[in-house]
Chains A and B, each alone.
Chain A
Amino acid sequence: MNLIDAIGSFGFSILRLSTPIIFAALACTVTKKAGLLNMSVEGMMLTAALAGVLVSAVTQSVILGILGAVAAGCAVGLIVSTVNLVGKSELYLTCIAMNLIATGGTTFALYMITGTKGTTFSYLPSLAVPNIDIPLIKDIPLLGRIVSGHSVLTYLAFLTALLTWVLIFKTRLGLRLRSVGENANAAQSVGVSVTRIQTYAYIIAGAIGGLGGAFMSMSYVSWFSREMVAGRGFIGLSANNIANGNPFIALLFSIIFGSADATSNVLQLTDAGMAYFIKMLPYVITIVSMVIMSLLEINRRKKMKQQVVAKAIAELHLEGKDH
């Protein structure tokens, strides 16, 4: 077996496995910055995966299929945010309900449309997003094998990380997002509509999650099958929780999680026990880093409090001297 080939194929797998996780993580990043956890990303992706297949099958256009997936993701985001912000429901329960609706609803729709509850394969002539070879790079021996020949959506995932960063840190909307996330009352007091901004965040998250869904049903495979997202949304959510709203760290951890998955897949072929250990790692990493981060956060708050108190005392002293 050619070692270069094996490594190349392994690297290629990492990027392919990471793509849906990256989209999921970024979808969570946007709402996280607006102060809300997006647990419904799994449902967004699943709904979008079905929508992408349906629209591309009907219109015979890949672009429209992707747009359909994005629209479906946005719709899920809009429903969650409306129910949560206008209906004042508990966010997590809403998200869990939304995920259950997506699981049941997509299977139901699948059954209504194709008469089966398994897959759209051979029932709907849906299209796949093309894979592209990058000129020049594709000729570099190992790198070309890893980086070139991916789905357009894989490259878009990396671009989306950049765009999400621009959105959050370089635009007016991003500023409002962050202000709402940091302190909703303060934002409200200067005239920012918290409800509106958080709704926007959910719709944008839906669009990004929708791309992730499109990747599952229009790239990985070219059909929809029930429950095909299989927890990738939640893994993305964990990646984002570690990143704490930073799109690039979210991207990094998505790739780390993708690598763990790829390693476990390859290890399974030789050492099944070790494969399950590796498979567990992303979750261990998530828990450990969340504990570390919350400790750091507690520390930071403590320091801030001390500083505020010290400042107040100093001011009191000053006032006392004045009189």
Chain B
Amino acid sequence: MKKLFTILLSLALLLAAAGCSGASSSAAPAPASSEVPASSEEPAPAEEGLAGKRVMLALNALGDLSFNDLLYQGLMAIKDTHNVEANYAEVGTDISTYEGYFFDFTDEGYDYVFLRPGFLDLCKANAADYPEMKFIVYDTTPLDECEVPNVYLQASTTYQAAYLVGMAAAGTTQTGVIGFVGGQENPLIYDFLTGYIQGATAVNPDIKVSSAFIGNYNDTAKAVELATAQISNNNADVIFAACGGASLGVFQTCLEKGVYAIGCDSDQYTIYNQKGETDLASVIMTSCLKKIDKSLEAIMNRVAAGEDVFAEVQAGRLGLADGAVGVADNENYQKIVPEEIRNQIADAEKKIISGEIEVKSAYYMTQAEIDSLIASVTP
């Protein structure tokens, strides 16, 4: 009996480990080799000398139909343009395991390693020991800095895209109240919310924005409750879901209640449409795009062009000008958002790039400023 128990327990632990942290602790988690097989067609000629370089992308986990899947797309695009050897690893969100991954990567000696923001401290401490490798930490905050000469930090100007979807929401609402469901109350999500509010008030100074936070990015049921409360208590008829995987709960509620939703990070309308979920897709009027794939591409293009991006200390913020953020322009957007508003949005896009419209980022606001901005539009 004891033996049986021991076997059961070992099995159980194995299973738990497998499920929690990707398929294994090595850098190759996918069941098939994580090295992406060379595409059948002849790859584009690599003119810049990145060909054959080994690239590693560390992401949380594939399949979120959002940020992580976009990262993977970016990796694929880099592979196609520069003919590099593309690898990826699903490292999860548990920062305590990152040290192991980090040294797995350095043991492998990849040429370019894209890392989650949780790796930043490890990079600061250890990257200098591996001068032949280049580290790119993506999706950091714009306030982050790293002086190590082979580390580049990337951040996105998501507030610009949030400003644009805020305009779309304010231009589409019938009730004059729009909603926002965020994941956690951190600068990353506040950056969406403050941009959203600024954009909405630019279109309609009297707009009301009802905002709420789930506290994590998984609890779909809570997302359902918060969206329901915004719709029935505040009369919101457009809800911006910036809450990762839990966004699905917001979309479902919007579908049931007959109001519109706005997606985040990737073009959620197109994704769900492709998956055959046309009903759900039909309520997603647009998405606030953080085109992390374009950011990765932009960085590699600059590297390929011979630019020494790694010399930069402050996180480089890629945005509208680089095509790294934006508003999802698809048939639903064309159908739902009035043409006049769409033209205004296109106009605002140019003005933000030229600096004529200045959108404030939550990263450069104090908590008091953020709170008073939120309070000023609370219904």
Contact = CB atoms under 8 A, between A and B. Distances in A.
A89 interface: yes
A13 B228 contact: yes
Contacts of B63: 111, 114-119
Contact of A220 (B8, B12, B221): B221
Given A228-B219, A228-B220, A266 B19 contact: no
B229 interface: yes
B136 interface: no
Contact of B225 (A100, A118, A265): A265
A240 interface: no
A9 interface: yes
B379 A226 contact: no
B212 A269 contact: yes
Contacts of A115: 63
Contact of A269 (B221, B229, B276): B229
A270 interface: yes
Given A97-B12, A101-B12, A122-B275, A268 B212 contact: yes
Contact of A87 (B1, B185, B225, B228): B1
Interface in A114-157: 114-119, 121-122
B18 A108 contact: yes
A86 interface: yes
Interface string B219-241: 11110111011101111000000
Contacts of A261: 225
Contacts of A100: 16, 20
B15 A5 contact: no
Interface in A198-230: 216, 220-223, 225-228, 230
B2 A87 contact: yes
B233 A269 contact: yes
Contacts of B148: none
Contacts of B160: none
A261 B2 CA distance: 44
Contacts, number: 143
Given A103-B16, A104-B20, A115-B63, A16 B225 contact: yes
Contacts of B8: 79, 83, 87
A107 B234 contact: no
Secondary structure of the A side of the interface? helix
Contact of A103 (B1, B19, B225, B233): B19
A6 B221 contact: no
Contact of B19 (A98, A108, A216, A265): A108
B213 interface: yes
Given A104-B20, A106-B19, A265-B212, A83 B225 contact: no
B309 interface: no
A150 to B, nearest CB: 13
Contact of B218 (A101, A116, A227): A227
Given A83-B8, A268-B226, A221 B277 contact: no
A1 interface: yes
A37 B218 CA distance: 27
B5 A230 contact: no
Contact of A221 (B9, B65, B230, B252): B252
A122 B15 CA distance: 25
Nearest to A100: B16
A255 interface: no
B248 A221 contact: yes
Nearest to B274: A122
Range, interface on chain A:
35 or more
A168 interface: no
Contact of B248 (A10, A114, A121): A121
A243 interface: no
B184 to A, nearest CB: 13
A108 B19 CA distance: 4
B19 A107 contact: yes
B128 interface: no
B234 A118 contact: no
Max chain B C-beta neighbours (<10 A), residue from A89, A104, A216: A104
A10 B225 CA distance: 10
Contacts of A108: 15, 18-19
B102 to A, nearest CB: 22
A281 to B, nearest CB: 15
Given A9-B228, A97-B12, A122-B277, A83 B5 contact: yes
B133 interface: no
B171 to A, nearest CB: 22
Q: Quick one: which of A106, A109, A269, A272 has the most chain B CB within 10 A? A: A269
Contacts of A269: 210-212, 229-230, 233-234, 378-379
B249 interface: yes
B98 interface: no
Nearest to B233: A6
Nearest to A221: B220
B18 A122 contact: no
Given A105-B19, A108-B19, A118-B64, A97 B218 contact: no
Contacts of B235: 1
A36 to B, nearest CB: 18
| For the complex of A and B, 5 pairs with smallest distance between CB atoms | A116-B63, A104-B19, A108-B19, A104-B16, A9-B232
30 contacts: A9-B228, A9-B233, A10-B229, A13-B225, A16-B225, A20-B221, A79-B8, A86-B1, A86-B5, A103-B20, A104-B15, A104-B16, A105-B16, A106-B19, A116-B64, A117-B90, A119-B63, A119-B220, A122-B277, A220-B221, A221-B249, A227-B218, A228-B221, A230-B219, A261-B225, A266-B229, A269-B229, A269-B234, A269-B379, A272-B213
Interface of A: 1, 5-6, 9-10, 13, 16-17, 20, 79, 83, 86-87, 89, 97-98, 100-101, 103-109, 111, 114-119, 121-122, 216, 220-223, 225-228, 230, 261-262, 265-266, 268-270, 272
